[in-house]
Every structure is written in C-alpha cells, then in structure tokens.
Structure 1
Amino acid sequence: MNKVELESRLECLMDEINFLRQLYDEELRVLQSQISETSVVLSMDNNRSLDLEGIIAEVKAQYEEVANRSRAEAERMYQIKYEELQTVAGKHGDDLRSTRNEINELNRMITRIQSEIDGLKGQRASLEAAITELR
C-alpha cells in the first residue's frame, strides 16, 4: 500500500472512531436520563440477629476436627516410620552378628594356618640342615 492509500484509510478509521464516540455519548445520556427518572425503594429486614457465639463454636469445631485429623495422620505416619526403622535396625543387627561371626571364624582360620606355616618352616629348616649334613 502506498502513502495515499494509508492516509485515506487512516481518515476513514478516524471518522469511524468519531462516529462511534458520538454514538456512545448519546447512549450514555439516554441511560443517565432513564436512571435519574427511576427511584428505588429498598426495604431491609434488620430483624436478623447475628449468632456470633454459634458461628465461633462452629468454626472452633471445624478447626478441632482438622487438628484431630492432622494429629491422627501424623501419629500414623510416625508409627509406620518407626516400624520401618525397627525392621531395618533388626536386619542390620542380624547382618552385624553374622559378619562378626565370620570375622571370628576367619581369625581362627588365620591363627591355625599361621601355626601350620610356622610348623612347616621348622620342618623345612630341619630338612635343610639334614641335607647340609649329608653333603
């Protein structure tokens, strides 16, 4: 589009905006005149009494119910976690006892083998001494 077309379009849009603004202003005047001619009569029933004590008691009861549910849920979660930890601790205790027994058995085996090695070293020394004498 060239400049002339754009200027022409701008002028048309400005005219449309002005027309819509005038239409809006006219409708606003009509509505305001209708409102000013209308009178409203409200009657209020002020015989209601607020039962604040009842409302407070109801809110307190709801709060206590929520607190009791939360406490029960926390205790349940604690009990589950406690039982899980007891199970894990028992398993680790059993594993520890088993490992200690294995260590003790291996230490006894090491001592026995060390004794055998010392005995074999003694035999070897005597055999070497005997070989040396025979030569």
Structure 2
Amino acid sequence: MKTVYSLAGSKSISLSHCHLPKWCFRILSLMKEADRAALARLELEKKVEALLDEIAFLRRVHDEEVAELQAELQDAQVQPLDVSKPDLTAALKEIRMQYEVLSARNQQSAEEWYKSKFANFTEEAARSNDSIRQAKEEITEYRRQLQARNIEIESLKSANESLERQLQEAEERSNTEIQNLHETINQLENALRTTKGEMARHLREYQDLLNVKMALDIEIAAYR
C-alpha cells in the first residue's frame, strides 16, 4: 500500500512505512477532516468578505439616494411658494419625515440582517477552527503514541537481533565442539584399529613362539 497524505504545515505519512496501520488510518482520517474544515473556513471567510462588500455597496447606494432626495427636498423648499397653497410645505415635510422613517427602518433592518448573517458565519468559522485545532491535537497525540510504539518496536528489534547473534554464536560453538568430538572419535578409532593390529601381530608372534616351543619339547622328549 502506498497511500500518502499530508496536512498543511505537517509531515506526510506513508502507509507503506507504517508499523501500526490502524493508527495511521486514523491519523489520515483526522488530516482529511482538518483539511475539509480548513476549506470550509476559507469559504466562510470569502462569504463574509462578499457580504461586507455588499453591505458597503448598499450603504453607498443608500447614502447616494438619501443625498439625492435631500437635494430635491432642499430645491423644493427654496422655491417660492404660492400663498394660495399653504399646505405644500407641510406636505413636503410630512413626505420627508415618512421617507426618513422608512429609510431608517430599512437601513436598520438590512444592518440587522447582515449582522445576523455575519454572526452566523463567524460562529461557523469558529467551529471550523475548533475542529481543526482538535484534529491537530489528536494527530499530535497519535503521532506521539506512534513514535513511542516505534521506539518500542526498535528496542524489541535490537533485543531480537542480540538474541539471534547469541543463538548463532552458540550454534557456531556447538558446531565447533561437535567437529572436535568427531575428530577425537576418529583419532580414537584409528588408535583402536592400530592397537588391534598390534595385538593381532603379537598374538601371531606368540603363536609362532608357542609352536616353536612345542616342537622343541617334542624333540627333547624324543632324545630322552
């Protein structure tokens, strides 16, 4: 297996060199979750920036409209009024007041709506940051445990290699002793064969001497 995954600012992990696949899979899963949370946070930040730009644009448009209406009202106020129409000024004031109330109400409603949206996006971004921080903490803990297990595995490997060396040395000593015993046995067998040969030769010589003695005894007896 050659799965390799990495988180921004952290080392990559390869399952082909992992001694504990279960933990490595967990670390990869946490890394993927952290990446997804980071992407979600970036998307939220982009949305917040877009909303802020939209708010600024709407405020500019609103300010321009208010300025235009105020200019029109001022132009209307400075025009000479016919004495036969005394209610025109009051009507303009009432229209202006109604517009200002409506404009303030719309502006307040828009600001509240955008503030609510901004607060929601801020909360989602905070949750994403918490998820990323938690994932990084879990990854750090799993890496610490993985490092401890790797150290333990290396220690066991060293102990196993030491035992294998001792076993090999014992086998070599045993083989040397067995070879020495075989050589000793061969020497003893050769010595035994030599001894048997000498004994057989001595027996033949003794038998020859015995035959000579018997012949002499017979000859001596004949002379008597």
TM-score, structure 2 as length reference: 0.38
Map of 1:86 onto structure 2: 147
Question: Which structure's relative contact order is higher, taking Cα pairs within 8 Å and 6+ residues apart?
Answer: 2
CA offsets 1:10-35 (integer angstroms, 9 cap, x no match): xxxxxxxxxxxxxxxxxxxxxxxxxx
1:116 paired to 2:181:
no
Larger mean CA deviation between 122-131 and 51-60 belongs to 51-60
1:56 paired to 2:56:
no
RMSD across aligned positions (CA): 1.5
Which blocks of at least 5 consecutive residues in structure 2 are unaligned?
Answer: 1-101, 197-224
**Percent sequence identity over aligned pairs:** 16
CA offsets 1:19-63 (integer angstroms, 9 cap, x no match): xxxxxxxxxxxxxxxxxxxxxxxxxxx856242221121011111
Quote the offset at 1:124 in angstroms.
0.1
Of the three residues 167, 186, 195, the one matched with 1:134 is 195
**Distance (whole Å) between structure 1 residues aligned to residue 113 and residue 135 of structure 2:** 32
Which blocks of at least 5 consecutive residues in structure 1 are unaligned?
Answer: 1-45
Map of 2:163 onto structure 1: 102
For this pair of structures, how many residues does the alignment match? 90
**Distance (whole Å) between structure 2 residues aligned to residue 57 and residue 127 of structure 1:** 103
TM-score, structure 1 as length reference: 0.62
